[in-house]
Amino acid sequence: MSNPILNELPALVKANVITEETAKKIKEHYTKNGDESQSKLFMIFGILGAILSGLGIILILAHNWDDLSNTTKSIISFLPLLIGQLFCGYTILKKSENTVWRESSSVFLFFGIGASISLIAQVYNISGDLNSFLLTWMLLSLPLVYLLRTSIVSLLYIIGITYYCCNSNYFTYPKEQSYLFWLLFLGIIPHYYQLLTTKPQSNFTLFHHWLIAISLMISLGSIGDGNEKLLYLSYMCLFAIYYFIGRNSFFENQKIKFNSYRIIGKLGTLILLFVYTFKSFWIFFHEKKVHQNPIITSPEFIIASILTIIAIVLFYKKNNPTHFKDFGLLEIIFLLNILLILMGTLAAIIANGIVLAIGLLEIKRGNQLNNLRILNFGLLIITILITCRFFDTDFSFIVRGILFISLGLGFFLTNYVMLKKRNRHEK
């Protein structure tokens, strides 16, 4: 489909509205964007084609599988792997700069590796469990990320090792526990760094921001080994680290959708604070329990200490240039968290005060910046806090009803005043 703007260029040049040079630059701009969009579309269809082709082959084989001999089954089992390697070899030799070929062929081989491992194990009744299968699959797939510079396989690898971590530490605990995830995770860091430095605005980079942040958040709990309550310290520090990373100039200058660390860090901190506002949580937290391992040498304590030091360093690095005159309440929650854990049920009252203060500060900031999104976020924090107390107090339904009516009026009035203020400034 032709671009109507490009169609108008000759008439604009003829009427001396723009020069020939300007028309050429406009044409180059729209042609480039069109080529990029077409390339993305080809890549999406190429990846989908590779996945669907692989699934189709598996379905055809599965239909006639029982009628085949073991030799035939073995040959067929290696076919997905062989076909994938041929495609990848051709890509490396002839299409190394073609993103569509790199991503499509590497995805086909990624699933080919998994299919071949599982089929051979089934043919010869090789014993094993899901953990060993996932570990072997991910280790064999990791070189693809660097040989073909593929980001799709990188994303699939992150999902795979995260599931491996969950299966080996959550689903089968306490029978089995593994810390191999952290070594596997290090394997993808060079590729992620390359994306940050060479393609900061790419959709692949966007997905890596979110998947890496979520993967680490999910996997942090896997270190629990008898002193799990210390994980509350670790998680609060992890969210603080995320928040400080998100406030870095690199992420601050990008669209909000690219700033997964700031979003997850802020929301994660608030969710933990909401949990802290319940008195029942602190009664559970301070229950007497004989710890399986000494606290000082436990992995939970060591990780919590490391994450606390990192968070303190990032806090200092962010606020030192301004001589600590411009830091927000949210930035020191990870330090206040240590004090809250040392207290008894009094911590619930303090946590309620902290959440209320954060909500009020967000409303104030939204009003100062004339930003409805920030203002409504502050109102939402206070609404959730009051809703939590709805289930945690003995107030009558009349009092609760009045509170919610007041909140509804508060939302309406603050937005009305803000919009009126905007209209007045625009005039």
* Mean pLDDT over the full length of the chain: 82
399 or 109: which leads in pLDDT: 109
Q: Quote the Cα angle for 6-8-9, to 5°.
A: 70
Which of 43-57, 135-149, 278-292, 403-417 shows the lowest per-residue confidence on average (mean pLDDT)?
43-57
pLDDT, residue 217, reads 95
pLDDT bracket for residue 30 (50, 70, 90): low
pLDDT of residue 360 exceeding 70, the answer is yes
pLDDT of residue 147 exceeding 80, the answer is yes
Condensed to tens digits (0 to 9), the pLDDT of residues 80-119 reads 889 889 989 999 998 888 888 888 889 889 988 988 888 8
Q: What's the Rg (C-alpha) of the chain?
A: 28
pLDDT, residue 123, reads 79
* Distance from chain centroid for Cα 43: 23
pLDDT of residue 141 exceeding 60, the answer is yes
pLDDT, residue 1, reads 42
311 or 42: which leads in pLDDT: 311
Q: What is the largest CA-CA distance in the chain?
A: 87
Statement: the pTM of the whole predicted model exceeds 0.85? no
Q: How far is CA 181 from CA 166, 221, 387, in A?
A: 9, 12, 38
pLDDT of residue 58 exceeding 70, the answer is no
pLDDT, residue 37, reads 47
In the chain, where the domains are located: 228-344, 346-427
Phi, psi of 377 (to 5 degrees): -65, -45
pLDDT bracket for residue 307 (50, 70, 90): very high
Contact 124, 67 (CB under 8 A): no
* Averaged pLDDT, 160-173: 88
pLDDT of residue 354 exceeding 60, the answer is yes
* Averaged pLDDT, 46-68: 63
Contact 223, 171 (CB under 8 A): no
Give the per-residue SS3 of the chain.
Answer: CCCHHHHHHHHHHHCCCCCHHHHHHHHHHHHHHHHHHHHHHHHHHHHHHHHHHHHHHHHHHHHCHHHCCHHHHHHHHHHHHHHHHHHHHHHHHHCCCCHHHHHHHHHHHHHHHHHHHHHHHHHCCCCCCHHHHHHHHHHHHHHHHHHCCCHHHHHHHHHHHHHHHHHHHHHCCCCCCCCHHHHHHHCCHHHHHHHHHHCCCCHHHHHHHHHHHHHHHHHHHHHCCCCHHHHHHHHHHHHHHHHHHHCCHHHHCCCHHHCHHHHHHHHHHHHHHHHHCCHHHHHHHCCCCCCCCCHHHCHHHHHHHHHHHHHHHHHHHHHHHHCCCCCCHHHHHHHHHHHHHHCCCHHHHHHHHHHHHHHHHHHHHHHHCCCHHHHHHHHHHHHHHHHHHHCCCCCCHHHHHHHHHHHHHHHHHHHHHHHHHHHHHHC
pLDDT, residue 254, reads 85
**Distance (Å, rounded) from C-alpha 294 to C-alpha 311?**
25
pLDDT of residue 180 exceeding 60, the answer is yes
pLDDT bracket for residue 259 (50, 70, 90): very high
pLDDT, residue 45, reads 59
Cβ neighbours of 189 (radius 10 Å): 10
Contact 105, 148 (CB under 8 A): yes
- Residue in 260, 255, 250 with CA at minimum distance from that of residue 196: 250
pLDDT of residue 291 exceeding 60, the answer is no
Which range has the top average pLDDT, 15-29, 170-184, 296-310? 296-310
Contact 330, 362 (CB under 8 A): no
pLDDT, residue 36, reads 47
pLDDT, residue 72, reads 79
27 or 164: which leads in pLDDT: 164
Using the Cα atoms of residue 213, residue 41, residue 82 and residue 61 in order, give the sign of their dihedral.
positive
pLDDT of residue 40 exceeding 70, the answer is no
Amino acid at 292: Q
Asked if the peptide bond before residue 190 counts as cis, ω within 30 degrees of 0, the response is no
208 or 374: which leads in pLDDT: 208
